[in-house]
Amino acid sequence: MQHINFVSQLDRVVEPPFSARQQAGLLAALMVLLVLVYAGLLWQQAGLNQDLQQRRAEQAELVKVVDALNAKKQAAENNSSLINELASLESAIRFRRQLLASIDPDDQYQQKGFSEHLNGLARQQLQGLWFTEIILGKQGGQMALVGYTLKPEYLPQYVQRLSQEQVFNGQQFNVLRMAQAEKQRNALRFEMRAAAKDEKL
């Protein structure tokens, strides 16, 4: 029979694996490590915030550049429209000057020829279409007709009718403009021009 002496076991002193001083040192080291990690995270966060602010500043600058380019594009388009309008006006002025230069009040043929042209225009009247300005020159080879029409399809119909007149046989209109009338909302203002074969509009 085996006997175990428990009394002798009670007298033994059990020492912890780490002393109180060692435990305090480990705890202090752990705290320092946590502080360093936290400081590193704060530094990284600060860098990210700075980078984000820089990105936002760059984005705002790009938006300004895009807006400026759009403004320049719009200005260029407006200038292009003005240039086209100016070219159109210059063409109209040049055409009228050519007509004026070609008119000779002492030319008996012109006096008779214009009468035939006017009679031809009058014979081919079309309801809903009327002229406000008729310019003839170059013995009728140059012509400008300005007026109003209630419907756009009336204009080609009238041109077709004019082709039935002998005096307008072979006459071709090189320029046609049509736009909404400012004073007469229900009508369209038009301008047709025909130049002599040796003339350029």
Cα–Cα separations (whole angstroms), residue 153 to 3, 39, 96, 149 = 130, 82, 27, 9
Overall pTM surpassing 0.75 (yes/no): no
Q: Please tell me the distance from the alpha carbon of residue 30 to that of residue 12, in angstroms, as a whole number.
A: 33
Q: Is residue 5 part of a domain?
A: no
Q: Is residue 201 part of a domain?
A: no
Q: Please tell me the distance from the alpha carbon of residue 120 to that of residue 123, in angstroms, as a whole number.
A: 5
Q: Are 117 and 140 in contact (CB under 8 A)?
A: yes
Q: Give me the count of residues in the chain.
A: 201
Q: Give the residue, 141 or 58, on which the prediction is more confident.
A: 58
Q: Same domain for 190 and 109?
A: yes
Q: Same domain for 18 and 86?
A: yes
Q: Is residue 3 part of a domain?
A: no
- What ranges in the chain are assigned the alpha helix state H? 6-10, 20-102, 108-123, 154-162
103-134 residue pLDDT tens: 555 555 445 557 788 888 888 888 899 999 88
